[in-house]
Structures are given as structure tokens and as C-alpha cells.
Amino acid sequence: MNKRLRLRLMLLLVAALAALASIHPESVSADVPYQTYYKDNYNQLFKMQAAYTPAGALGKDLFVPDTSNPGQTVYSPLNQPQDLYIDSRDHIYIADTGNNRIVHLDAEGRLAGLITLPDSPFNRPQGVFVDTNGDIYVADTGNQRVVRLNGEGELLAEFGRPESKLIPEAFKYDPIKLVVDKRGFMYIATLGGYQGLLQLDPQGEFQSFFGANKTGFSLSDSIKRLLYTREMYEREISKLPGSIASVDKDGNGFVYTVTKEVRTKQLKKLNIAGLDQLAGKGEFADTMTDGSFGEYIHRAGRTGYPQLNDLTVDGNGNMTVVDSKLNIVSQYDGNGNLLFFWGGAAGDTTTKLGIVKIPAAIETNSANDLFILDSENNIVQKYRLSEFGELVHKANGLTQDGRYEESEPLWLEVHRLNAYYAPAVLGLAKAAYKKGDYERAQTLFKQAGWAQGYSDSFWQNRLLWFQSNFGLLMNVVIGALLIYFAAKFTAGRLGYGAKRRSEHYNRKRAARPLPLQLRHAFYVLKHPIDGFHSIRYDQKGGLLSSAILFVLALVSYAIMRAAISFIFNPSIIVEVQLVTILIRFIVVWLGFVIANYLISSLYHGEGRFRDVLYGSSYAIFPFILLGIPITLISNVMTLSEQSIFTFLEYGLYVWVGLLFFWMVQGIQNYGVGETIINLLLSLITMAICAVLLFIVFSLTSELFNFIYSVYQEVTIR
Amino acid sequence: MKRKTIVKLSAAVLTVLLLLGWGLLLQRDADRQSTGKAGQENTVADGTTGAAGNGGSAGGGSPVDAALPVEAAFVKAAESERFVLWTDAVTAHFKIISKETGKVWRSYPNPEYWELEKTTGTWRSSFLSPVMLEYIDASNSKSQSKLTNWMEEKGVLDQYELTGDGFRATFYFPGTKFEIPVEVRLNGDYVETKVIDEGIAEGDLSLLNLKLYPLFGAEPSHGQEGYMLVPDGSGALIKFDENRSNDKSIYRENVYGADLSFYNEQTGRQEVKMPVFGLKSGDRSFLAVMTDGEEYAKLFAAPAGALGISNWITPEWQYRIKFFQSTNKQGDQGFYTYSKDRFVAGERTTRYYPIDGPKTDYAAMAERYRNYLIEENGLARLEQRKENIPLYVDIIGADLKQGLLWDDYIEGTTTKQAETMVKELREAGVDNLSVLYAGWQRWGYSSYGGLFPVDNRLGGNGGMKTFIDSAHKLGVSVYLSANYSLNSSGRGGFWKLNDGLRNLAGTLQEQYGGRNNDDKVTLTSPLYGIREAEGDLAEYKSLGADGLLLEGGIGSALNTDFNNRHKASRTEVLGAQQRLLEKADGELESIGVTDGSFYSLANVDHIHRIADDYSYDIFVDEAIPFEQIVLHGLVTYSSDWANLSDEYNADFLRSVEYGAYPSYVFTAAESGKFKQAYSIWYYSMNYRDWKQSAAEQYKRLNEALGDVQDLYIIGHRTLAEGVKETIYENGKTIIVNFNEKPYVLANGRVTVPAQDFIVTTGGEA
């Protein structure tokens, strides 16, 4: 596609979106100018009450002494500020990048001082950090240095590019963000520094690179590697691991990083050894989430992937990240479980309380208020926890500490206020499990959609059931066996069984062939090639019986898709509808029948169309036999028996596949080799048909649209 | 051989059919992908940016210079009991002088501060000019809209004449060839400015919008206290300040909300429900009411520093608004353009009520507006109030969600369960209850259109009648909620191609149907919806319902319809809605509207879930209960659902402050049951979870508001940050403290506890 056409298409798309947006004016909820959401582990969004409410805008009225006019003040707004830090006294420090200064506000947001370092001025400083002793560290990006100042803003030390053999030549030392740990070691994020954080000791000596990201390697990469020349492959810059965008730390010695331009592990919680504590953790590690951080709102103009810009960790260990691209604030607890998120594209006409245009940095004060620095509107927005948010924090804190029982009343209240908030259901489920109330735990875990918990409590319940019903169960089994043997014995004695069966067979054959045709399905299972062969040559199958078998198989397949336990089949929670699934089944089956018939008739096959049709109906017979049993069994299994379930399920598909193979062999009277070739060709034919159809359809609709557009353009303009 | 051919032939046919089916499936997926994104961008710039108009050329009279009018040359044009109107024959500017206090309101900037005005270019002359307008050259599809004004073009005043109670004149624009006839008259305690639509003449250019006397009453922020009142949410104040931070934000919103047939700027603001605005400067103020043609107005407010040094606020009369001309069948490709025809509203009238009495604050403005509604719209004080305040409960009958093969019906509250619910709420201590039953129609809430009969699974018409009868025995009134602006069911003979709302390009207007659902719901033609509602009135009556609660359109929103079968302008839709409301009010006991607009007030008894917040614009300094001050004692209104609140306690306190009755949305079903519902996404609705706290809050509110239900609010102010005082006619005073610290009143004797309220009788002192 050439560039101009692409541009044109993009413009059209934009216009289209504008049209959609215009018929859908944004509704505003009361109390807060944004909507807060929760996303469950099946990627379903739920609107919820606000967790944080806007509490003010700071830094919009900055007046500094006028140098040319003593005694007067002059308005001096922030200019593209990039970083924010709140110290232990709740004073706010802003890296006012565009003005080459650090702005110091007191806890109420009044101007408390400006740090400009007149002897050695800053050049676009992008990061600021204040140590517990009041020392201020500034990442002076433009000057390629980190400076350490005392509380009065006097220079104490200056750290340029560290000297070490371990630092590669190509490494660019442009510090953007930094934190300093208790020992005085600095962790510096540098612009484009994919090696990780630069760790320096208090003297500025290089220690190591810390918390580097890994390079992703995908299937397409391996193909590229195979096909590309070395030069071409190396030119792929995306093969560098993402560079760390920002860094923060908590009181327990963990260092947190956020990374842009990666799809997973955007947020990391690193221990002293540089190991990510969030990897593979989180409640929902076993379901459909993929370990990615930074949320987005479906349908609200998603134009890319989250690009996390900064994070903050509050007193309870909850992590809040801001996304500078999609403009979303997401909060996670200390283990990386989503608590809530809000935001979305800001209207471009107005500046509003609580609405951030470009979130550059985020910080928390001691009261767990959030502060978000808006580098477009040049203000700091302050947010306070709502009653609901506070309740969730309290309850979740207890749950994370394992104090499930204590958390129960709090979660109950959260659940009363919001029945769809999965963490509350999960908290209650854990409390119930802890107390041994497995019935309730099972229901709640299912409601929350957490397979592992559900499976565990179901395991307990199943055990209890077996324990209490073991006697009865055994009696039933023994009784059934006794009756069976007794019946067999008497029948053998009287000579009924065999005779009656053969009579039955003969009588029916003469009267109505349908039951016989149906019974032939069982014969096919036992002697597939022979069975299919006799469908072709002995008219053992018929249209009606095939139709019945097909419909039954379809129903059985539908039951499987709809009723297999959610722990093995998580998609049922999201995709409830069966119509698409059924259509897909029919289309694939019919496509195969036709493609196979076409190929066979060219490839000296002996089967007629109806034989292929009948045979294919008989070949899916295992669905009828096994579909419902598998569905039932799945509902009494736990995750620990997953291998059995998987075996059964795959076994079913393999069996059906084999039957299709023998069907072709028997009906077309092929050898094994011929069958394989025939099947391959059939599949290729199916694919080609699909592609052709797709092209034909999209082209005709495009053509029609094109003519309509031309007509419209001519008549309107 | 022959048979084989037939088989082959049929195989071929089957293949084609199959492939067709498959292709359709794939195509659908592809379509879904392409429409799954949304965004916003407009291709034609809208707004107030524009270039200077061209220089003047002589017309009929003598061209005018861009300068302040010479006040010495003013003549007395009219006089009333309280005011004198002086006008200028050169510029057609005027001023009003209060006979009693001598205070002056001018239609031009205050000359005292004019030399401080540093703005240059078109804007400078715009401030001086009696008329400013925006136009576009429609012959060129690439042209941008431009701003001009009468003085910039060295305009000519035609046919200026005194009429006894004012004057008439036509502004002629020599450059752009526009002629704008206007009339100004003084009547009693107001002065009325009017644009006469029939007399407007255009040359080759197309008029987009105009502002008449934009700087009426405008004042810079110099020393005096003052604010502009904008009808944002329940009312908001933009206080006068020097605006040294150079904020250029302005307020510009459609009166009565967006018109879906046209382009709407995405401001994310609350809709303007009241056609009023005001400005207070020092010890004088004015209230302005747009009385005619307001459905085609945007309210425009510029705080000092945004556009010039003045704080100014004015209606911007719309004559053309751009719309999306689609060029493909889906309606998603195309461009923005303007219609050939102007909007015609007859007259566009603004009444300015100068206020110089002892009280000039927003409460005084609200009082004047209340009197206006009583005098002009026939509203009257509430009668026959019950002893206790009403609690409004929205009951959700049912909704739909996606099912295995077809939509599943989610039962929320059957009529039987509703009986129990009402009984339990009464027993819990709610002495005056009003039920608003929603989602009762066939297939529940998301099944719009063809509403009757009541769904059998809820009890059918019979069950509903039984419920209403039993509710009446308990003294509970029952409204049925209905939305006539959408149709998804196709019932009632609705066919979307015939009866759907269309914009000027003929594009059918639809909106998304619900969560995770790509199906779209058609917006009905306003006149179709009104007719359907009219037809249903008898049904409501036969069920014994006390009233009808209109949601989603009638009484609250206006859309122009270009569907040839039901064609109606915004003005016509407004008229049709008013007629329907009148008829409904005649047939049923009472009519409620959810967040209703003020054009419906004459026949509406209850405004449900009234706006009680503002839009969080940073230039807005305070949200005030202007709407509530106007309405208290005239119609009842309720606050938004307390069980879905963002801040439970603060919202409760706010409804105490605003005199709003509580409302809840309830189901008898468990809260979790509606998880996947198409429309009802509310996360906590089980009434058993809320019964107790609702009854407690009701009791507290009832103590505070029970005896002032039919009384007007005569005073409202902020005592300290987060501390608000509301005074009723009988002297009852409610002081609400939103802060985390207790507040001690100025007399030092009374303390308002933190996040609580007190009721006194003697004001603050």
C-alpha cells in the first residue's frame, strides 16, 4: 500500500470515528469527571464508583519575585514539567524541565522555594528525588549529570558519567529519573538505557546495571532470522529490550520500574538482587491475563498499547501507574493484582479538575493522596481516596497479609457496595476457605472466576462427599454388579439373549432400515474401513440417519462448548453465545465434505457425493458418544486431574480425525498413501475456497461502497 | 451419467452457498474489527478562532468607527417604574439606569476601564460592537469559518427608530453584506433584546452564529467582587479574578444539550438545562433569561483574561451548525459541511433583569427567575403536601443479556416482589414512598419500543395493576418509567428505515446497545416517539399508574430530525414535546422527567435525579444549587441514586444542602444477577442491602426538609470553605459542613460537627 493511500484511509477512519463519537455524546457521572473501572481476569470491564476523587489542582498560580522589578512578583507557570517527588514532610518537588529549575511546594501546595543552582545551572532536568535527610538529587538530563544538593539547594556533589570497563562505549548517559536507597546507592534510569538502571555507590562509582529487561523473541523473529541477512536482522531496532522509563522505591527496599514499549512486565518490583517479584505472581496468573500492566478501556478509542510513564508506591504497598499515551491511571496491590483504573482521553477544549492531559509523573504523600503531574496543562492534580477506595485498601491489605478472617467484614461491606467487584468476592472466598466453609468458598470462587481457588475448594467438597457417601456408593456399585451378573446368568441359562438379538435384527431389517442405519454407526466404530466401505457399496447409511447423526453430534458439540466446567474452558464466561460456534462447526464440516468430494472425484475416488456426505456424518459419531460424558466428567474434576480431562478431550478429537481418515479410505477405496494425499489436497482446497470467498466478498462490498461514495461525492459536493 | 451431472451440479451449488456463508462470516468479523475503534476529530475547525473581516465599504447610512459610544449623545428611549433606557442613534448601543439607586448597566464595555483593554485586532472591535458574528463562504468547500463584527466592517445602522418602549434598528455589514434587524425594549423590570430572524439578509456568505450586545453588563475584574453564573449542572460560578495565570478557557455550551443530528464538540460537560445566565459585579447584578429561540443558542462565557479584560457572558445564536455528510453506506466516511438553510426560530430573545435591590447574589437571581417561571410559565407553589418528604425508588423490572442461542431474560423485580419491597420499606420507616417502575415492558429494559403490555414474567398487566392498587393502599404512588427515544425491538410497527432519526445527510442515527454488544439501537424520530407515547397514555391510565416518568429524550433532549416522514426542527420538536407533556399531565396525575430541561417545566411535577454537580472546569470556582433554589417549592426534585454514589456521605450532605429528596435504584434480585446485562450495569441494587441505611438517611432528611417542602429557598451562601448555608422562607436554616473538622459558627455558640449538618431557625447569628 502506498503512503498516500494509507494516509487517505487513515483520514477516512478518523472521520468515521468522529461520526460515531458525535452520535454518542459523553455522559458525565456525578461527583467525579471520569469513570472508574475494574477489569476482571476475563478482560471484562465493569464500571464502578470512584476510588479516588479530585481534591484540587496545585501549582497553577506560581508567582516568583520579579528580578527586574524588586518587590514585585511575576507569574511564572510550570513549563513542561517532567517529574514530581513528595518527601517525608509531604513537601512537593517538581522538576520544572522547561524552566530549568526545581520548584518546591509545601504540603498545602504553596510555593516554598525555587532551586535553580545559579553557579552551575540546570539544563532540562527531568528527575528529582529527596532523601530522608533532606538531600535533593536531581537528574540533570541536559548536562548529563546527577547532582546532589542539600535542603537549602546548595551543591554537595556532582556525578557525571561513571568510569568502568563494564559500561559499553555506546552507552549514553542521559539520566532521567532516579531513586536513592538507604545506603545512599543511586539507581538511575537513563534515556534509552536498555541495559537497566545504572547503580552507583554514594561516591558515584559504578556498581552494576540493575533490573534490565529481557529481549522478546517471537516466532516471526525466528523466521526473520532464518530469512534475513545478518545486516538486515541487526537493523531491527525493536530487538533491543525496553528501556526503563521511571523508577521508584518503597520502605522495604524494593525498587520498582516501569518500562515503555513492551507488551508485558511493564511494571516490575525488584528485590535487592534485581529479581522481579511480580513475575508469574498475582491471583489470576492461571487465567486469561498475561502479566501485562497498564489498563485500557475497550471501545474508547484505543489507539495503541499502554505506555507506562511513571509509578508510585503508597504506604500500603499499592502501586499506581500512569499511562502517558492512553491517559489511564491504574492501581495494583503489592502483588500486582488490579484494584481499579480510571481516565481516558481528555477533551481537548477544556482544563478540568481531575482530568489530566499528559500525565508525566505520579506521587503519593503520607496520607495516600495521589498527585499527578500534567506536563501539558502544567499543573499537579491531587486525588483523595473515596470511602469505597479506602475500604478496599483496608480489606485488601488484610487479605494480602493472610489475615483472611479479619478482612471478611470489610469485604462484605465492599461487596454490598459493589457486587461486581471481583477482589471482594475473592477476599470473601478466601476467608470462607480458610474457615473451612468450602461450599461457600466454591460458589464464591466460581463467581470471581478464579479457577485455582474453585478447583481447590471443589476438591475439598468432593472429598467430603466421598467420605460421607462412600458406604452408599459402594453399596450401589456392588448391587449393580450383582444384578448385572444375575441377569447375565439367567439369560445365558434360558438362552434368551443371543436369540432375541438376532430375531430383533432380522425383523427390523425387513421392516424399517432407519434403526439399522443408525446402528451401523456402532459398527463403523468397531470396523471403520469396512463400515465406511459398506456405506458406499451396501447402502448401509441413509440421508435421514446421516442427518440425525449430524444433528446429534452438533448438539453434543454445543453442549460441550457450553457446559464443560469453566476451569477447563474459561472462554464460556466471556463468549456465552453458541451461534457463532455452531456456524463455524457446520461451515468447516460442510466445507470439508465438498472439498473432499471435489478432490476425490478428480483423484480417482469411487465415492459419490452422498457417500462422502453420509460418511462424514458417521465420522463425527464419537461426539455423540463422548461429548456428554466428557462434559459431565469435567464438572466433577479439579485442576489436579486436568491431564485426564485433556487426554479425554484430545482423544475425542483424535478419534474423530482417524474416523475421517478411514472414511476417505473406505468410501473412496484408497490405499493409505492415497488417503493422505487426498486429505491434504482437501484441506488445501478448503483454505483456497475460504480465501477466494473472502476476497470476492470484500471486493464486491468495497466496489459497491466505492460506487456509492462516488455517487455521493458527485451529488453532494 | 446424467445422475452424476446432477450430483456435481448440486455440489457446485452447495459449494457456492457454503462459501457465501463463510464469506459472510469472515466479512462480519472484518467489519467488526474496523468499527471497533472510536475516536474524535473534526476536519473543519469549529469555534471562535478566525481571521479578521475585510475592511468596510459604504452602504446606506454613515459608516461607524470602532469606538465606545458617546454617552453624551444618548437619548432617553423608554422609561418604566424602576428603570430608564437610554440609547445611541449612532451605534444602537444602550444603557439602563436604575431610578432608585442610579446604577448603570451598559450594552458595551465599561468606559472606566476601556483604556486598560490591550486586546487588538478583530476581538477589540468585537468588544465594542453591538453585533459580532461568525460566517463561512459556503461556495468554497475548503473555507474556514471567520469572525467579524459590525464595527470592524465600519457598519451602517439602517432603519433606526424609537418605538416608545425602546428602539428598532438593522445592522448592515458593508463587507460581508449581512443585515441583522434587532429590537430592544424596556418592559417593567427588564430590558429585552431581540434578533428578528425573518429580517436577516445574507449576501454570498453564510451566517453561522451571532452574538447581540455580547458585552452587556460585562465588567473587568478590578477590585470588586463578582462572578458570572453559568447553568452548568445545577449552576456554577466563575468568580472575577485577575486571571494572572493566563487561562484562555471559555465556556460554550448548547442550551438544552446536544443535537445529535449535528456536530457536537466533545467538552465532557453537563448539559445546560436552564436557559439562564447571570453576572454580578460589586453591588449590582443581572439575570438574563433566553425566552425565545433559546433551543438554537449556545451560552458563551469568557472569564476575564480569556478574551479581553472583561468578564462577559452572552447567548450565541446559532444559524447553521456543521453536520457530518457521509459518503458511504455505513455512514462512517465523509466530511463536515453546513446546510444551505438557516435555522429559523422566529425571534431570538434575551431578557435582562437588572438587579440592584438589597440582595444581588445568585439567590436573588434565582428568586427573579422563579418569579419569571411563575409569571410567564404558569408554575405555582406546590399544593397539598404530605407531612413527610417522598423517597423515590426506581425499581428495575428486568433486562436482557446474551444467552446461548438468544437473549436471556434477567428478572429483577416481579410485581409480586415489588409489593413485598414496598411493604418492607414502609415498615423500615419510609413514610412517604414513590415508586418509579422501569424495565417492565416486554423483554425488559433493553427492549425499547412497543412497550405494552407489562411482561408476563413480571406479572403482566394484571400483576402491575394489583401492585399499583396495593401500593395505593399503603399511600405509595407508582410511576411507570418509559423511554420513547430508542427502539430496538421493532415492535409497535417501528421500522428503523422509516421511523429512525436521521441527520441532514440522511444517516440513520444509532447508538451502542449495551456492554460487550456490537448491536446498535436506533434512535427514534422524535415525532414518532411522541406519537407512540401519546398512544400509550390510556394504557398507563388503565393500569392505575399515578404518573409517567419520561427518560432519555422527551422533556430533556431535543434532536432535529431530517427523516422525511417525521421531519421536525428543534423548535418543532420542542413544541411537540410540550404538547405531549400537557396532554399527559391532563390524563395522568403527575409527570416526571429524568434530569428534565426547563422547557418542560410547565407540565412536569417531578424532576428525577436532578443534576447536583458541575463539570469540573478549572475556571469554575464554585458549584451552586441555582436550579434547586429556583425549583424548591414549585416542583419536586430528587438527587441521584444514593446506592450508586461516588461519595456516599458527601452526596447525602449535598442533598441536605440542596433540599433534594433521596432516590435509590432497587431490585429484588441479588445484586450480582445483572452482571452481563445490556443496559442495567448498576453494581449494587439489592434493596435488602440498602433498606436500613436508606431508612436512616430518609429519617434524617425528613427531619430537615419535612416542613419546608412547599417553601422557597430564599438564601444560600458559603460560610467558609466546605460550609454551606441554605435558608428557607420561614427562616429555617440548614448549615452543612463537608469538612473533616467541626465548624464553629460566627456567634461562637453553635458547632456544626464534621461531615454533618445542623438545622436552626435564626440564620447564622
Tell me which amino acid residue B754 is.
Answer: A
Pick among 3.20.20.70, 3.20.20.140, 3.30.930.10, 3.40.640.10: CATH of B391-610+660-710: 3.20.20.70
- Please state whether the peptide bond connecting residue B453 to the residue before it is cis, i.e. omega within 30 degrees of 0: yes
pLDDT band at B516 (very low <50, low <70, confident <90, very high): low
Q: B660 vs A548, B434, B705, B711, B735, CA distance in Å?
A: 65, 14, 9, 13, 15
- What residues of chain B lie within 8 A of the CB of A717, using their CB? 141
Q: Which residues touch B483 (CB under 8 Å, ≥6 apart)?
A: B448, B550, B551, B552, B553
Q: Is domain A396-459 classified as CATH 1.25.40.10?
A: yes
Q: Residue B120, SS3?
A: coil
**What is the ipTM, given to two decimal places?**
0.85
Phi-psi sector, A539: left (phi>0), alpha (psi -120 to 50), beta: left
- DSSP string covering B30-72, please? HHHHHHS------SS--SS--PPPPPP---SSPPPPSS---GG
Instruction: Give the alpha-carbon dihedral of B52, B55, B61, B62, to 10 degrees.
Output: 100
Rounded Cα–Cα distance for residues A612 and A541 (Å)? 11
Cβ–Cβ below 8 Å for B327 and A419:
no
User: How many contacts does A have with B, using Cβ atoms within 8 A?
Assistant: 269
CB contact under 8 A, A419 and B671: yes
Residue range B152-199, pLDDT digits in tens: 999 999 889 999 999 999 999 999 999 999 999 999 999 999 999 999
Q: What is the band of B672 on the pLDDT scale with cuts at 50, 70, 90? A: confident
Please indicate whether residue A493 or residue A109 has the higher confidence score (pLDDT): A109
Q: Tell me what pLDDT residue A298 has.
A: 67
Per CATH, A40-212+241-385 and A396-459 having the same topology is answered no
- Each domain of chain A, given as residue ranges in start order, spans 40-212+241-385, 396-459, 504-699
CB atoms A15 and B405 under 8 Å: no
Among chain B residues, the shortest Cα distance to A355 is held by B616
pLDDT at A479 over 80: yes
Residue of B nearest to A711 (CA): B327
Amino acid found at B459: G
Residue in A28, A704, A717 closest to B615 by CB:
A28
Residues of B in contact with A18 (CB under 8 A): 39-43, 324
| Residue B431 cell numbers, joined | 413514610
- Tally of residues, chain A: 717
Partner-chain contact A705 B15, CB within 8 Å: no
pLDDT at A302 over 80: no
User: Is-contact B357 B82, C-beta < 8 A?
Assistant: no
Write out chain A residues lying below 8 Å of B516, CB-based: 44, 574
Worst-scoring range by mean pLDDT, A296-305, A602-611, B615-624?
A296-305
Taking only the tens place, the pLDDT of each residue in B14-26 is: 555 555 555 555 4
Residues of A within 8 A of B647 (CB-CB) are 31, 50, 53, 386-387
What DSSP designation does B201 have? B
Within 80-139 of A, beta carbons closer than 8 Å to B belong to: none
Encode pLDDT of B543-579 as tens digits.
999 999 999 889 999 999 999 999 999 999 999 999 9
Helix axes A609-619, A513-526, angle to 10 degrees: 70
The candidate with the shortest Cα–Cα distance to B60, out of B173, B137, B143, is B173
A229: phi then psi, degrees, rounded to nearest 5:
-75, 165
Among B14, B38, B328, beta carbon nearest to A299: B38
- The torsion of the CA quartet A642, A648, A649, A655, rounded to 10 degrees, works out to 160
- Say which residue the cell 475425542 belongs to: A652
| Non-local CB neighbours of B304 within 8 Å, separated by 6+ positions | B220, B221, B240, B241, B242, B243, B310, B311
Bridge pairing between strands A45-48 and A359-364 = unpaired
Confidence class for position A277, pLDDT limits 50, 70, 90: confident
pTM of the model: 0.86
Closest chain B CA to residue A78:
B245
- Pairing of the two strands A155-159 and B83-87: unpaired
Task: Give CA–CA dist B266/B263, Å, rounded.
Answer: 9
| Contact residues on chain A for B264, CB-CB shorter than 8 A | 22, 25
Mutual orientation of helices A579-602 and B2-35 as an angle, nearest 10°?
140
Nearest to A594 among B14, B648, B689 (CB): B14
Determine the Cα–Cα distance for residues B380 and B382; give it in Å rounded to an integer.
6
Report the residue of chain A nearest B615, measured CA to CA: A33
Among B residues 263-322, those touching chain A with beta carbons less than 8 Å apart:
263-270
A581 touches chain B (CB under 8 A): no
- Angstrom distance (rounded) from CA A670 to CA B748: 105
Q: How many residues in total does chain B contain?
A: 765
Q: In which element (H, E) is residue B182 found?
A: strand B179-187
Asked if domains B71-377 and B391-610+660-710 share a fold, the reply is no
Taking the C-alpha atoms of residue A639 and residue A645, their distance in angstroms, rounded to an integer, is 9
Q: If you measure CA to CA, which chain A residue comes closest to B669?
A: A419
- Does pLDDT of A497 surpass 60? no
**CATH classification code of B71-377:** 2.70.98
Round to whole Å and give the CA distance between B667 and B436: 12
Interface test with B, best of A9, A11, A12, A23 (most B CBs within 10 A): A23
Q: Do A350 and B267 touch (CB under 8 A)?
A: yes
What's the pLDDT score for residue A518? 86
List the one residue out of B294, B348, B237, B233 whose CA is nearest residue B595: B233
Domain extents for chain B? 71-377, 391-610+660-710, 718-760
Q: What is the pLDDT of residue B51?
A: 35
C-alpha–C-alpha distance, residues A108 and A56, integer Å? 10
Q: How far away is chain B from the Cα of A277, in angstroms, using its nearest Cα?
A: 33
What number is the average pLDDT over the span B585-606?
92
Using pLDDT thresholds of 50, 70 and 90, give the confidence band for residue A16. Answer: very low
Q: What distance in Å separates the CA atoms of residue B612 and residue B214, rounded to the nearest whole number?
A: 29
- Of the ranges A159-173, B240-254, B274-288, the best mean pLDDT one: B274-288
Question: Is the minimum CB–CB distance between B564 and chain A shorter than 8 Å?
Answer: no
Across-strand partners of A526? none
Name A331's bridge partners: A320, A340
Answer left, alpha or beta for residue B439, where phi above 0 means left and psi between -120 and 50 means alpha: left
Report the alpha-carbon distance of residue B218 to residue B307 in Å, rounded: 12
Q: Nearest CB to A347: which of B27, B266, B327?
A: B266
pLDDT tens track for A242-270: 889 999 998 888 999 999 888 778 888 99
Confidence of residue A303 (pLDDT cuts 50, 70, 90): low
Integer Cα distance of B502 and B408 in angstroms:
31
User: How many other β-carbons are positioned within 10 Å of the β-carbon of residue B136?
Assistant: 20
Range in B244-253, B339-348, B429-438, B457-466 with the lowest mean pLDDT: B244-253
Q: Which pLDDT does position A605 carry in this prediction?
A: 83
Mean pLDDT of B522-549: 94
Average pLDDT of span B386-408: 90
The HSE-up count of residue B448 (CA atoms within 13 Å, CB side) is 28
pLDDT of amino acid B5: 56
Q: Taking CA B219 as the corner, what is the angle to CA B218 and CA B225, rounded to the nearest 5 degrees?
A: 125
Please judge whether B7 and A608 are an interchain contact, meaning their C-beta atoms are less than 8 angstroms apart.
yes
**What residues contact B107, with CB distance under 8 A and at least 6 apart?**
B93, B94, B95, B130, B193, B213, B215, B216
Residues of chain A with C-beta less than 8 angstroms from the C-beta of B613:
30-31
pLDDT at A212: 83
Q: How far is B65 from chain A (nearest CA, A)?
A: 34
The average pLDDT across B143-147 equals: 90
> If we measure between CA atoms, which residue out of A345, A404, A407, A405 comes closest to residue A376?
A345
Mean pLDDT of chain A: 84
Q: Which helix (H) or strand (E) holds B548?
A: strand B547-551
Topology given in CATH for the domain delimited by A40-212+241-385: Neuraminidase (2.120.10)
